[in-house]
Structure 1
Amino acid sequence: MSVLLAFDQVDAYYSQARILNGVSFEVGAGERVAILGRNGVGKTTVVNTLCGIADIHAGAIKLGGKRYTDVPHYLAARSGIAIVLQGRGIIPNLTIEENLMLGGAVDRPGRWNLDTVYELFPILGERRRNPGLGLSGGQQQMLAIGRALMANPELLVLDEPSEGLAPVIIDELAELFRHVADEGTAIMLIEQNINLIQRVAARYYVLSKGSVTESGDLAGMTTQQLQDHITI
């Protein structure tokens, strides 16, 4: 199994504030991995480090067999990684279709294009000419996911995708993520919703105070054990 993404003893900072302290984890091709932890422990900083927003002061990120200590904003996309940001990141002055087309700007080959995304999310096709922010919260999350899939990624990174969504929508997302994973796309799920974690992920890492404190398989883990990991 090839490794798509690895953090190797990463210390990550915003200015002079250290958020990640020696963080190490990896996601291999086709894997479904969850990053667990309560609010404020550094989960989103993992994403921001991958995006070049947080600075690496020690350690490195490994992508495509190469080590990077200075991460430009475009590196993840060029390396076959698509990210669904917390808060969705819909561009307000663009239509639904224009938002989707942004995801295809990296021009990677694969099955995902406007037609296949509209097949997956018919509501987006019906409203393709409407503003992206004219959708409900759940529909905006569909748009954010569809835009990420348009990049035909090897790894799909999801930062708190259930945030603010009704349970029925979360159930739909779980089925969607399993469908995407079954077609060969690896998933890195940063999440606190236990139902979504249990239905999507196979392995986990726990972040606490900016460090990885535990890792393992989710198989056989009880809901209470998982809850305990999230509240560390």
Structure 2
Amino acid sequence: MSEPLLAVRSLAGGYGPVDVLFDVDLHIEPGHVVALCGRNGMGKTSTIRAIMGALTHRNGTIRFGGQSLVGKPPHVIARLGIGIVPEGRQLFPSLSIRENLEVLARGTLTGGWTLQRAIDLFPRLGSMLDRPAWQTSGGEQQMIAISRALMTNPKLLILDEATEGLAPLVRHQIWQTLHRLKTEGLALLVIDKNLRALSRIADFCYVLERGRTSWRGTGEQLAAERENVERMLTV
């Protein structure tokens, strides 16, 4: 059996001496969409930081593309093929949209993601490429953040609360975009609170509770047990 694209096993870690993750398991196969759910403060963003090398590692393994990520610095991990759309977007506000998209661009021999392809994904950005990022709406900023991550040409795209605080029409567009990326074969790790939308796109789902994996199941199981999982997220 081939190794998953991303395999996190028995992960434990924290910030300095303070532990926040105790036993996290997470597997992502190539081309699959995996949802990571949990109440605020349960370890979702900390798990992402551990994957990206920004959390003190205590125990467990993190493997991507067949090699260990433990001990590697964030910039090396990113170059291995992990793109991230962080919570809060973290754009460069004084740079133009074009500059935000091109600053981390990394081409491939087969072409991959380019500025034109990003505009095709989000046509709204095409007419405002020279506008500073701070002069854009929250929805436009999220489009920029997703496009910027894609232009690193990742094998895995991680999205941390990518629809949080957006207008309904923009949220709908983001979900449509994730569906499109899935059909194109890009692996996704999605953190979001919308279980209904997640169940429609996710191949698998994990729920974290106090730094531990407390529930796991397929997208179909998430749809069937959505009310039970929602109770886990609101207790």
**Structure 1-normalised TM-score?**
0.93
Which amino acid in 1 is paired with 2:8? F
Report if the CA contact (8 A) 1:12-1:58 is conserved: yes
Which amino acid in 2 is paired with 1:212? T
Look up the match of 1:227.
230
Look up the match of 1:55.
56
Look up the match of 2:137.
136
How far apart, in 2, do the equivalents of 1:28 and 1:165 lie?
Answer: 29
1:71 aligns with 2:50: no
Matches within 5 A, 1:155-194: 155-194=156-195
Gaps of 5+ in 1: none
Structure 1 residue 2: Cα displacement: 4.8
Report if the CA contact (8 A) 2:85-2:145 is conserved: yes
How far apart, in 2, do the equivalents of 1:102 and 1:201 lie?
Answer: 30
Report if the CA contact (8 A) 1:50-1:71 is conserved: no
Structure 1 residue 14: Cα displacement: 0.2
Look up the match of 1:107.
107
Gaps of 5+ in 2: none
Which amino acid in 2 is paired with 1:128? L
Look up the match of 1:121.
122
Considering only aligned residues, what root-mean-square deviation do their CA atoms show, in Å?
A: 1.6
How far apart, in 1, do the equivalents of 2:57 and 2:145 lie?
Answer: 27
Look up the match of 1:208.
209
Give the stretch that moved more between structures: 222-231 or 71-80.
222-231
How far apart, in 1, do the equivalents of 2:172 and 2:104 lie?
Answer: 24
After superposition, give the CA deviation of every residue in 1:116-147 in whole Å (9 maximum; x if it has no partner).
11111122121100111211111100000011
Which amino acid in 2 is paired with 1:116? R
Structure 1 residue 163: Cα displacement: 1.0
Give the secondary structure class of the aligned counterpart of 1:35: strand
How far apart, in 2, do the equivalents of 1:195 and 1:75 lie?
Answer: 35
Give the stretch that moved more between structures: 1-10 or 30-39.
1-10
Look up the match of 1:197.
198
Report if the CA contact (8 A) 1:51-1:75 is conserved: no
Give the secondary structure class of the aligned counterpart of 1:93: coil
How far apart, in 2, do the equivalents of 1:43 and 1:196 lie?
Answer: 18
How far apart, in 2, do the equivalents of 1:156 and 1:20 lie?
Answer: 22
